[in-house]
Amino acid sequence: MFIHPECIPCILKVRLQEMEMIDLGEDLKLKAVGEIVRYLLENADEEADVTFIATNTFRIVKKITGNMDPYRSLKIKSNSIALSLLPHVKRYVDESGSDFEAFRRACIASVIGNAIDFGVAEYRFSFRELEMLNASLSIDDVEHVLKLLKPGASILYLLDNAGEVLFDTLLLEKIRCRNVKTVGVVKSGAFQNDVTVEDIKSLDLHSYFDEIVETGTDGSSIFLWEISERLLRRLNDADLIISKGMANYEYLSNEVKIRKPIFYLLKAKCSIVAETLGVPHKSYVAKLDLR
């Protein structure tokens, strides 16, 4: 997604929230804000990718503060609460009346997990939202996705936020029952509260994947000019990409070089993203893009 004028104050506000979160002194805060504003003035033109702009402004915060994982404590809290709720959510998935409904409910659980987000200025997350399992999908392409999960297919699963990843395990269980290869993609460094390879290790989630691949960067999505050769190979081999979260949607929906079916699972926490999807703000979405 190209950057919109409304994105600029959002990015600035989120970066300021991060500096307050780590109790940054006023002198360093001013230095960071000044560098971020200069970067935005030089780079935030109408053809700029909003996710790449957000990534680079977050990199400025990390560089100036020396804190390479500002959301660390929030990620730990998110994982802890998601773990406590996981049995409740698993019952919701398992008590469905059919295999199709179980798969659909697992998709809904995964999308509800995407509500765990602290990096959108116009959105406030409450952990109570994770207990609400009666969510409806404003876009529901689940039935079409099932047709792509043929035995022997290769699925590239782009993981997103901490906490959310535990809800993803319910969907991953349903996918792996269909005899497909599942490759999990995690960031090599911190971007906001997104899952990194260290988080996967601490949660011991390797068994849900045939392979886990790092992006090779701390980018908010799989920017083709930054990612590792290994991930590029797995991307080329994939029959389907499952894309979690807004940042991956914002980037991949514009990336014409990727000619693979993409299944977007997200909550539209930003009004601009909701508008591009044609859904109300804060809607839940399970959208298949066949390219």
- Burial degree of 223 (CB within 10 A; 0-12, 13-18, 19+): middle
Find the domain containing 179 and state its range: 72-289
Whether residue 132 is found in the same domain as residue 46 = no
Q: Name the DSSP class of 220.
A: S
What residues contact residue 116 under an 8 Å CB cut-off, 6+ apart? 78, 82, 125, 127, 130, 161, 162, 163, 164, 193
Kindly state whether residue 206 falls inside one of the protein's structural domains: yes
Whether residue 222 is found in the same domain as residue 199 = yes
CB-based contact 277:285 (threshold 8 Å): yes
pLDDT, residue 123, reads 52
Whether residue 165 is found in the same domain as residue 61 = no
Whether residue 132 is found in the same domain as residue 254 = yes
Kindly state whether residue 161 falls inside one of the protein's structural domains: yes
> pTM to 2 decimals?
0.94
CA 276 and chain centroid, separation: 17
What residues contact residue 43 under an 8 Å CB cut-off, 6+ apart? 53, 56
Whether residue 136 is found in the same domain as residue 203 = yes
Kindly state whether residue 83 falls inside one of the protein's structural domains: yes
- Antiparallel, parallel or unpaired: β 137-140 and 154-158: unpaired
Whether residue 151 is found in the same domain as residue 225 = yes
Kindly state whether residue 2 falls inside one of the protein's structural domains: no
User: CA nearest 171: which of 75, 289, 77, 265?
Assistant: 265
User: CA nearest 58: which of 82, 26, 22, 25?
Assistant: 22
pLDDT, residue 79, reads 92
pLDDT, residue 122, reads 56
Stretches in the chain below the pLDDT threshold 50:
none
Whether residue 43 is found in the same domain as residue 93 = no
Whether residue 167 is found in the same domain as residue 132 = yes
Residue 234 CA to residue 243 CA, distance in Å, equals: 14
Whether residue 51 is found in the same domain as residue 175 = no
| Last residue of one domain, picked from the residues 65, 88, 105 | 65
- Antiparallel, parallel or unpaired: β 262-267 and 284-289: antiparallel
Domain count, the chain: 2
| Last residue of one domain, picked from the residues 18, 34, 65 | 65
- Can you give the CATH number for the domain in which 31 is found? 1.10.8
Whether residue 126 is found in the same domain as residue 265 = yes
Kindly state whether residue 172 falls inside one of the protein's structural domains: yes
Whether residue 27 is found in the same domain as residue 149 = no
Kindly state whether residue 1 falls inside one of the protein's structural domains: no
- Can you give the CATH number for the domain in which 99 is found? 3.40.50.10880
Kindly state whether residue 267 falls inside one of the protein's structural domains: yes
Angle of helix 164-176 relative to helix 99-113, nearest 10 degrees?
160
pLDDT, residue 135, reads 77
pLDDT, residue 78, reads 87
Kindly state whether residue 91 falls inside one of the protein's structural domains: yes
Whether residue 44 is found in the same domain as residue 175 = no
